[in-house]
Structure 1
């Protein structure tokens, strides 16, 4: 199973390296008026990916903090008493004559 995982990791690295080599030409990045910068396309894609990951992690962070606080609160609180089973229903009366 680990060999399969390593195979996929190596395949992904090779595909990314091939992508970087094929997209090494320069592109113009236009920012403020009268401002333009040239950068390799692979660098632009990498920066956009990293910015997306950072934004996603920052959006996910409040949920993680809220869940950790809830877990800590639940660990500090005393355990709840287990629910008690209802009392068994009384047995129906039996008639001595079988009627």
Structure 2
């Protein structure tokens, strides 16, 4: 199983490496007040992908914390019921 995971990781790495090599054109991001940022297309895509993933994880943080609290309360309730029996 370990070998299969490493093979899949290597395959994914090669696909992403090929994507990065094919998309190395320079792009310009224009901001307000005439500010411009010059960078490689793959760098911009990676940056925005990482920012989107981070925002998605941040959006889920409230749900995860609420679920952990509920699980702890249910475990506590189960322990109390088991002690009473």
TM-score under structure 2 normalisation?
Answer: 0.85
**Structure with larger Rg:** 1
Pairwise CA RMSD of aligned residues? Answer: 1.8
Ranked by relative contact order (alpha carbons within 8 Å, sequence separation 6 or more), the top structure is 2
- The structure where helix makes up a greater share of residues is 2
Look up the match of 1:45. Answer: 45
- Number of residue pairs aligned between Structure 1 and Structure 2: 82
Stretches of 4+ aligned residues off by more than 3 angstroms? none
- The gaps in structure 1 that reach 5 residues or longer are 83-99
- The gaps in structure 2 that reach 5 residues or longer are none
TM-score under structure 1 normalisation?
Answer: 0.74
